[in-house]
Amino acid sequence: MSEANERHLQRAQAELRAGGAVLLRDDQNDVLVLSPERAAPDRLAALATLTGAPADLLISRRRAALAGLVAPIDPDDPRGVEPVAAPIRDIHDPSWRLAADPMLSGDGAAARAHALGRLRPAGRASAAAIALAKRGGLLPALVAVELPAGQLPGGATALDPVIIDARLLKEGQIAAGHLTRVAEARVPLADAENCRLIAFRPADGGPEHLAIVVGEPEPGAPILARLHSECFTGDLLGSLRCDCGEQLKGAIRTMAASGGGVVLYLAQEGRGIGLINKLRAYALQDRGLDTVDANLTLGYEADERDFRPAAEMLRALGHTRIRLLTNNPAKVVALGAHGIEVVERVPHAFPANGHNAGYLSTKARRAGHML
């Protein structure tokens, strides 16, 4: 993807987060979308009357199933990510929002009966729109109107949409790599006085990733490495709901004791759904869901992370063979797929406490972690 396209993608993401409209163009059909989480009521109403037909609620098939709008679908069924569209009979009736936002109290089946029409499969542009909402850290639920390809009704100009090619959001084309090394400094740590932080900035303007280089890892040797997704609550606040803080500090101590290593601190909070949505997932867990089902209920997948940036950072640091500190076999597979040889998986588990035992059990039982 060119830098110009990456900048345009970032602009569309920012517009959606700010409550603005985005038009995603595709050779099948175009789709004009607003986020009900961010857009003002008058803008949603303007969109709903744009074509004379009802605007649609766009959500994933899995989110629709969990809201009671379609038959249940297995969490591992790949069809769960497919977008579906349901006509919103009255944009001013708030009950349709029950299918869009799982944090609202109410009955999803009632939302279908009173506010939404029959669901139908949505097109490629709609799938790209949901991907854009995810990139922006928004709930993946949008109010949308489908339009003939290449045609923009006159009334749409009042919404002043950012126009973007939907193909930029196809799987595998989103700029996860293309990192630039932008800053480096020596930062002595309590558990590793010989330590450097190196910042990498993605070309699409997204948040920076950090490499925590402990000691003097030997070039060419299979170094100790850990992929650590940032966790504000665990790493900084010492939350007991997860084991992230212990894993981060434990990795640094292990590397310092063994002469060196690299922790790749990735800007992928909450398995890639962002801090706000992670807090929403916590609230759903307090209602009785486990960590996997909470993410699925929000409309996200169980794990939305992309480990291509980690592979690129390792190569930039001169390391292509590693001993990976992890309990997650998916990380081993992902790094191998992106050209990093994991010569050994080094177990990295810590005892449960009274608050995270269920979380750890779910990781082992449903995500295959080797605990």
Annotated binding site for GTP: 226-230, 247, 269-271, 291, 326, 331
Same domain, 104 and 220: no
Q: Structurally, how many domains does the chain consist of?
A: 2
Domain boundary among 127, 149, 169: 169
Question: For residue 265, what pLDDT is reported?
Answer: 98
Domain-located, residue 229: yes
CA 81 to chain centre: 13
Domain-located, residue 146: yes
Q: At what angle do helices 329-337 and 308-316 cross, to 10 degrees?
A: 60
Confidence of residue 320 (pLDDT cuts 50, 70, 90): very high
Same domain, 81 and 205: no
> Cα(29)–Cα(148) distance, rounded to whole angstroms?
5
Between 355 and 203, whose confidence is greater? 355
Same domain, 164 and 183: no
Residue percentage of the chain with pLDDT more than 70:
97
Domain-located, residue 240: yes
20-29, 229-238, 258-267: which has the minimum mean pLDDT? 20-29
Confidence of residue 177 (pLDDT cuts 50, 70, 90): low
Decide if pLDDT at 173 tops 50: no
191 is catalytic: no
Same domain, 334 and 243: yes
Annotate 63-83 with b (16+ C-beta within 10 A) or e (fewer): bbbbbbbbeebebeeeebbbb
Report, as an integer, the average pLDDT of 217-239: 95
Same domain, 106 and 253: no
Question: For residue 171, what pLDDT is reported?
Answer: 47
Domain-located, residue 33: yes
Nearest to residue 170, comparing CAs of 215, 129, 202, 220? 129
Tens-place pLDDT, residues 3-42: 777 888 889 999 999 999 999 999 888 999 999 999 999 9
Domain boundary among 169, 196, 216: 169
Average pLDDT, the chain: 91
Residues pairing with 325 in the sheet: 346
Question: For residue 274, what pLDDT is reported?
Answer: 96
Nearest to residue 43, comparing CAs of 13, 64, 22? 22
Question: For residue 176, what pLDDT is reported?
Answer: 53
Decide if pLDDT at 50 tops 50: yes
Domain-located, residue 336: yes
> Cα(56)–Cα(122) distance, rounded to whole angstroms?
10
Q: In which domain, by residue range, is 94 found?
A: 3-169
* Cβ-based neighbours of 293, under 8 Å, separated by 6 or more: 75, 284
Decide if pLDDT at 190 tops 80: yes
Same domain, 123 and 149: yes
Confidence of residue 175 (pLDDT cuts 50, 70, 90): very low
Question: For residue 1, what pLDDT is reported?
Answer: 63
Tens-place pLDDT, residues 88-121: 999 999 999 999 999 997 776 777 778 999 999 9
Annotated binding site for Zn(2+): 231, 242, 244
Tens-place pLDDT, residues 329-369: 999 999 999 999 999 999 998 888 989 888 888 887 887 78
Same domain, 230 and 157: no
Question: For residue 146, what pLDDT is reported?
Answer: 93
Nearest to residue 36, comparing CAs of 178, 138, 132? 138
Domain-located, residue 295: no
Same domain, 323 and 218: yes
Token pair for residue 63? Answer: 């989110």
Same domain, 164 and 189: no
Same domain, 55 and 189: no
Report, as an integer, the average pLDDT of 262-281: 96
Domain-located, residue 156: yes
What is the pTM for the complete model shown?
0.91
Domain-located, residue 360: yes
Decide if pLDDT at 153 tops 90: no
State the CATH number of the domain containing residue 125: 3.90.870.10
Question: Which of these is catalytic: 196, 303, 315, 323?
Answer: 303
Same domain, 247 and 155: no
State the CATH number of the domain containing residue 256: 3.40.50.10990
Between 129 and 206, whose confidence is greater? 129
303 is catalytic: yes
Q: How many CB atoms lie within 10 A of CB 139?
A: 26
Report, as an integer, the average pLDDT of 316-332: 95
How many residues are there in the chain?
Answer: 371
Question: Which of these is catalytic: 25, 61, 62, 305?
Answer: 305
Same domain, 73 and 122: yes
Tens-place pLDDT, residues 114-148: 899 999 999 899 999 999 999 999 999 999 999 98
Q: How many CB atoms lie within 10 A of CB 131?
A: 20
Domain boundary among 147, 169, 191: 169
Question: For residue 357, what pLDDT is reported?
Answer: 83
